[in-house]
Copies of this chain bind each other. A is one copy, B any other.
């Protein structure tokens, strides 16, 4: 690949878990690293749902990418949108400039997939960015306001019906947080409505919630959701979404708020690579995570499809897998920069699965042992705080959790954004 006598130029597209893990593992390597991202911040995606449900502020789970790598003198950060990749010329074209590489790490992540119904996106936003989270938060909080103002009972119920499509960790966590808010946080704030009558529906096409988790976890999560009042619909398919509600099979449900947590598709940048993609559009990588025919290009994170050699299952599209892939590529780059031609295969280390459902309710499987309730909830909290980037964020998130735990309040109940700012007169 790169001429061993010069310093190889490593370009990393995407500052998510995979890209950042790669860059940080290369901190002391003799390479020139450029991280390209169209946002200035890394987002801790596992807690995005808490921004969407008014628990945390965006700044609590984000950090400027520049700040994270500021002490790595071998790394620069470019805020730009990648338009194209030219594997022949070894150039990445952004909206700002062309950037040459010797080694390319594609870590551009995924976005919501609507299975051919792209028009649903407008009615059912997904949850992949801070902007998505703030949009969902706004819609969720405004629904109560509209219900409070509504005089027609049917309209009121429609405003208080929330449908979450997809019962993976994000869907389960959103549903749990939303029903807690409706039943415990806001009831006394409203005069005309009983917010406890809000319906939170969780729709799943498969036969159980948390499909990637052990059966025992799924069963426990279903029990917890049911006790909390979430309406769970398993083996149900959403057949239509419009601005009045959803259709599930033949049943029509009037709902003002629909959230999409059902599936993702890889960044469309994968199409630039001229390699075979699998049915979901993911890049089928070689065992070393490079792409077929291009040992100098690696694909990592949510856009790569890696089959774990031990379990013959795909590596789950979650943060631990992404970070392990990023670090694996960094190891290869380092060893090649120091002249070693060996390229070990990627091995996924499954550290377990964790999901939270509500106050003191969570499910976990660690080293093959499944457990639930407070122990799982505490482990979930510890692990998530541990992996947040930066002391400030860890501290702030723990504080917000402690505050919410003691007071049953949510610190970030703000409706912001353009929908409200249709200013015909002064700000109040």
Contact = CB atoms under 8 A, between A and B. Distances in A.
Interface of A: 13-16, 19, 37-41, 57-60, 62, 64, 66-67, 70-71, 76, 78-83, 96-97, 107-111, 128-131, 134, 141-142, 145, 148-149, 151, 186, 188-192, 265-269, 303, 392, 395-396, 399, 403, 407, 409, 411-418, 420-428
A425 B108 contact: yes
29 contacts: A16-B428, A39-B415, A40-B141, A40-B413, A57-B412, A58-B412, A59-B413, A66-B190, A67-B189, A71-B188, A79-B149, A81-B424, A82-B425, A83-B424, A108-B425, A108-B426, A108-B428, A110-B427, A111-B423, A131-B416, A131-B418, A267-B426, A268-B425, A269-B425, A269-B426, A303-B426, A392-B403, A392-B407, A396-B411
Copies of this protein in the complex: 2
A413 B67 contact: yes
Contact of A420 (B39, B265, B269): B39
A60 B58 contact: no
Contacts of A417: 131
Contact of A149 (B78, B190, B192, B268): B78
B149 A80 contact: yes
Contacts of A71: 188
A92 to B, nearest CB: 13
Given A130-B416, A265-B426, 17 more contacts: A16-B428, A19-B428, A40-B414, A66-B189, A67-B413, A79-B142, A96-B149, A111-B425, A129-B421, A129-B427, A131-B420, A134-B416, A266-B426, A267-B427, A269-B426, A399-B399, A418-B418
